[in-house]
A = this chain, B = another copy of it.
Amino acid sequence: VSRNWSRLLRGTLSCKVARVTGTLGRPRSQEARRAILDAAVRLTMRDGYQAVTIKGVAEEAGVGRQTIYRWWTTKAALVLEAIRDLAERAGRPAPTGDAVHDLRALLRASFRLVPTAAPAITGMMAESTHDAEFAAVLQDGLLAPRRAIVREILEAGQARGQLGRGASLDLAVDLVWGTMWYRVLSRHAPVDERLAEELADAVVALLGPPDA
C-alpha cells in the first residue's frame, strides 16, 4: 500500500502518516482509518468533492470528528488519500502486443468508470484551479499515472513498428484524455465505446504511418 505514498504525499496536504514519538500508547485504529477512507470515497463519489464535509464523513464512518482531524489536516488531504484507489481500481487491461487494441481496451475500461468517478474527480479538478498544492498532489496521484499508461502503450506500439512518430506523444496522450474529460464535464456527447474507437483511430491518424 505504501509504495505509492511517497508521490502522493510529497505536498503538505499529506496525512500524518506515522507517529513521530515512537511506539508508546494505543496504536492507531485501522478499523477507524478504513471506515473513514471508505466513507470519504463513498461521499465524494455520491455528492462531489465540494459537497464533502468532514462532519459528514465522520458520521458516515461512525467515527468521531476529532479522529479525522487527528490524522488529516484538511478535507483535501483526506479525500485525496481516499480517492487514490480509484486509479488503482481502474487498473489496466493486460497488454496484448497490439498497441491499438490495447489502447481501445484501456479506453473502454476507463470509460466504464466514468459514471461513478466523474463527480469526484471533476470537483477535485475545480479545486485544483485555486489550490496549487492540491493540484500537484492530484496530478501526481491520479492524473499522471493514467497518462503514463497511455504513453507506454503508444511507445510500445512505436517500438514494434505498429505506430508512427508523426506527432508528439504528449499531445497524443492529452488528446485522448482531454477529449474524454471534456465530454464528461460538458456532457454534450456520450463517453462510450464508440468514442473509444474514434479516439484510437484518431491517435493512429495523428501519429501517421510507421516509419518505413
Contact = CB atoms under 8 A, between A and B. Distances in A.
A38 B150 CA distance: 43
Contact of A129 (B118, B147, B166, B168): B118
Given A171-B179, A178-B178, A179-B179, A125 B185 contact: yes
A90 to B, nearest CB: 16
Interface residues of A, number: 47
Interface string A169-202: 0110011011111111111110000000011011
Given A130-B47, A181-B178, A206-B206, A125 B186 contact: yes
B128 A125 contact: no
A149 B76 CA distance: 37
Task: Tell me whether chain A's interface is mostly helix, strand or loop, or mixed.
Answer: helix
A183, A186, A199, A206 — most chain B CB neighbours (10 Å): A186
A51 interface: yes
A119 interface: yes
Identical chains bound together, number: 4
A123 interface: yes
A147 B183 contact: no
A144 B188 contact: yes
Contact of A201 (B50, B143, B167, B174): B167
Contacts of A48: 126, 129-130
Nearest to A136: B187
A50 B126 contact: yes
A208 interface: yes
Q: Which 5 A-B pairs have the closest CB atoms?
A: A178-B182, A126-B126, A178-B178, A178-B179, A125-B185
Interface of A: 47-51, 118-119, 122-123, 125-130, 135, 139, 143-144, 147, 166-168, 170-171, 174-175, 177-189, 198-199, 201-202, 205-206, 208
